[in-house]
């Protein structure tokens, strides 16, 4: 019996001392921010019972990514968001609608929601990613609406060229144990993409083509419900550094059918265009920049959809008030004018110009001022004017440590006549916002 225990103990010691040989290499990264915001008015309306109060509150979010390196070339990646909520406010109750940039609902993100879980395998014929992962990034930040989705991705590099391909399951409506009320097949929303990128020293240029096969509304007997949405999205882009100049450019062109009925009667085609050019010139400690962006709007006098599917992207936030989704729009919501005019973000139906200047008087401090102006591309019905307004923003970011930074920003919007709707009277009022944010990255 003693020999048995001695052998068992010896085996235990061998396992203990050799545990590192079987262990997975785990790497953590992520971010945490805590912020406070004051917005002077929650509508653009003036002198009315619904002009909206001011608002001031604190909010935060923790995001953690974990990479389990099982062996060289084989990794399991997960990511979760936790306590994404306003301080002192009760949690949301809806557990059905997914959050914009998550695989969980708003209520789940206010506690904890896992967004990613996927495998990366570097094979002899290229790298495969399989699972639920990030979906939405293409080229530059403009036009990106990052979210999470089930995907299969592949990429391989051939000298300066990289080829990528992916399949994305946006919505599944097949008969399953969790969805067993379905009485039809092939009512899913799927995307298929292929991309080529050419890299050189100091830059890259690429082109991505995505086919959207959205059939979620194709079943049914009513003409209001039995249509498909099928279109192609072409996205050429370039990012380059030429001396002191950093350049970015992207064009998005979508063409196809917004509504394709089975009998071919009442079909609605689409032709959306968005794009931007952004340049920053740096002469330390001063830098200058400019942005021109465009998102086509829908012409109410035609049957075709010229705008409404593509936008400037939730991830591109050029101002503190105008077209800012992640800080202002997500946490405060839309700012309403008259006759259903509103500002929330991302940018839609707009031509946008911005000039900016910044200075870094000391290495940890970055101070930037910008002036932005936007107008409508196509005026909707019940709107007489096209000007969204002019915004002046000043931000200062101080890097406390390599991983900890503090930002203070003030934005003032001279509200444009677009928000008067169908009136030319003095019925709107300017707005301003103050935000400060402490951000930790690790």
| φ/ψ of residue 267, rounded to 5 | -60, 145
Helix, strand, coil shares of the chain, percent, nearest 5, are 10, 55, 35
What is the distance between the alpha carbons of residues 398 and 407, in angstroms, rounded to a whole number?
6
Compute how many other C-beta atoms are within 10 angstroms of the C-beta atom of residue 150: 17
Instruction: Tell me the mean pLDDT in the region 263-292.
Output: 94
* Contact of 262 with 226, CB cutoff 8 Å: yes
Residue 209's Cβ-count burial label (10 Å; 0-12, 13-18, 19+) is: middle
pLDDT of residue 14: 39
| Token representation of residue 156 | 């391989």
pLDDT band at 1 (very low <50, low <70, confident <90, very high): very low
What is the average per-residue pLDDT within 159-176? Answer: 95
Q: What is the pLDDT of residue 178?
A: 82
* Residue 273 predicted with pLDDT over 60: yes
Cα distances (Å, whole numbers) of residue 321 to 1, 80, 367: 77, 28, 18
What is the reported pLDDT for 54?
A: 94
- Mark residue 279 as left, alpha or beta (left: phi above 0; alpha: psi -120 to 50; beta: remaining): beta
Q: Please enumerate in sequence order all residues whose Cβ is within 8 A of that of 281, keeping only pairs 6 or more positions apart, or say none.
A: 244, 245, 246, 287, 288, 289
pLDDT number for residue 12:
44
Instruction: Quickly list DSSP for 25-64.
Output: EEEEEEEEEEEEEEES-SBSB-SSTTS---EEEEEEEEEE
Among 17-21, 82-86, 103-107, the range scoring the smallest mean pLDDT is 17-21
pLDDT band (50, 70, 90) for residue 23: low
Cα 398 from Cα 406, distance rounded (Å): 5
- The better pLDDT of the pair 50, 184 is held by 184
Rounded Cα distance, 373 and 383, in Å: 18
85-100, pLDDT tens digit by residue?
A: 999 999 888 777 788 8
Q: Which tens digits make up the pLDDT trace of 188-225?
A: 999 999 999 999 999 999 999 999 999 988 776 556 66
Q: Are 344 and 263 in contact (CB under 8 A)?
A: no
Tell me the pTM: 0.90
Containing 155, the helix (H) or strand (E) segment is strand 147-158
Q: How far apart are CA 32 and CA 125, in angstroms?
A: 37
Predicted local distance difference test score (pLDDT) of residue 21: 40
- Tell me: the pLDDT tens digits for 239-258? 999 999 999 999 999 999 99
Q: What is the DSSP letter of 153?
A: E
**Tell me, what's the pLDDT at 405?**
98
- The CA-based angle 331-442-109, given to 5 degrees, is 35
Q: What is the helix (H) or strand (E) element at residue 21, kind and residue range?
A: helix 19-22
What is the model's pLDDT at position 323? 97
Task: Give me the mean pLDDT over the 120-145 stretch.
Answer: 97
Q: Over the stretch 354-396, which tens digit does the pLDDT of each residue have?
A: 999 999 999 999 999 999 999 999 999 889 999 999 999 999 9
Average pLDDT over residues 154-175: 96
pLDDT for 11: 43
Of 40-49, 187-196, 222-231, 432-441, which gets the smallest average pLDDT? 222-231
Tell me what pLDDT residue 47 has.
Answer: 77
pLDDT of 4 above 60? no
Name the DSSP letter for residue 327: I
Task: pLDDT band for 181, please (50, 70, 90 cuts).
Answer: confident
Residue range 280-332, pLDDT digits in tens? 999 999 999 999 999 999 999 999 999 999 999 999 999 999 999 999 999 99
Q: What is the pLDDT of residue 221?
A: 54
Averaged over 132-136, what is the pLDDT? 96
Mean pLDDT computed over 416-424? 94
């Amino acid at each position: 019996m003693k020999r048995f225990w001695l052998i068992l103990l010896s085996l235990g010691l061998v396992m203990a001392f050799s545990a590192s040989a079987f262990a997975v290499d785990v790497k953590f990264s992520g971010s945490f921010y805590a912020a406070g915001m004051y917005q002077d008015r929650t509508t653009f309306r003036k002198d009315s019972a619904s002009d909206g109060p001011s608002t001031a509150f604190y909010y935060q979010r923790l995001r953690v990514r974990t990479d389990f390196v099982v062996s060289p070339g084989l990794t399991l990646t997960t990511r979760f968001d936790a306590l994404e909520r306003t301080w002192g406010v009760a949690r949301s109750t809806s557990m059905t609608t997914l959050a914009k940039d998550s695989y969980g609902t708003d209520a789940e993100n206010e506690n904890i929601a896992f967004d990613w879980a996927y495998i990366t395998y570097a094979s002899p014929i290229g790298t495969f990613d399989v699972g639920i992962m990030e979906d939405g990034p293409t080229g530059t930040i403009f036009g990106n609406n990052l979210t999470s989705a089930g995907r299969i991705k592949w990429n391989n590099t051939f000298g300066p060229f990289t080829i990528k391909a992916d399949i994305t399951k946006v919505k599944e409506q097949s008969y399953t144990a969790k969805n067993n009320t379905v009485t039809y097949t092939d009512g899913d929303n799927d995307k298929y993409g292929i991309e080529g990128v050419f890299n050189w020293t100091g830059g890259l240029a690429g082109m991505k083509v995505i086919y959207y096969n959205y059939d979620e509304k194709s079943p049914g007997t009513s003409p209001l419900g039995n249509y498909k949405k099928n279109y192609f999205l072409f996205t050429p882009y370039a990012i380059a550094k030429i001396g002191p100049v950093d350049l970015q450019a992207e064009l998005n062109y979508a063409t196809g059918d917004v509504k394709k009925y089975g009998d071919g009667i009442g079909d609605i085609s689409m032709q959306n265009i968005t794009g931007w050019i952004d340049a920053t010139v740096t002469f330390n400690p001063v830098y200058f920049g400019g942005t021109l962006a465009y998102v086509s709007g829908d012409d109410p006098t035609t049957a075709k959809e010229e705008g409404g599917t593509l936008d400037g992207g939730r991830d591109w936030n050029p101002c503190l008030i105008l077209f800012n989704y992640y800080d202002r729009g997500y946490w405060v919501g839309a700012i309403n004018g008259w006759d259903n005019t509103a500002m929330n973000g991302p940018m839609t139906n707009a031509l946008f110009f911005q000039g900016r200047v910044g200075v870094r008087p000391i290495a940890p401090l970055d101070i930037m001022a910008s002036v932005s102006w936007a107008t409508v591309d196509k005026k909707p019905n019940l709107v007489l004017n096209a000007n969204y307004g002019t915004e002046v923003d000043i931000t200062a970011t101080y890097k406390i440590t390599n991983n900890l930074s503090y930002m203070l920003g003030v934005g003032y919007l001279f509200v444009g006549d677009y928000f008067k709707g169908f009136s030319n009277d003095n019925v709107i009022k300017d707005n301003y916002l103050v935000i400060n944010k402490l951000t930790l990255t690790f």
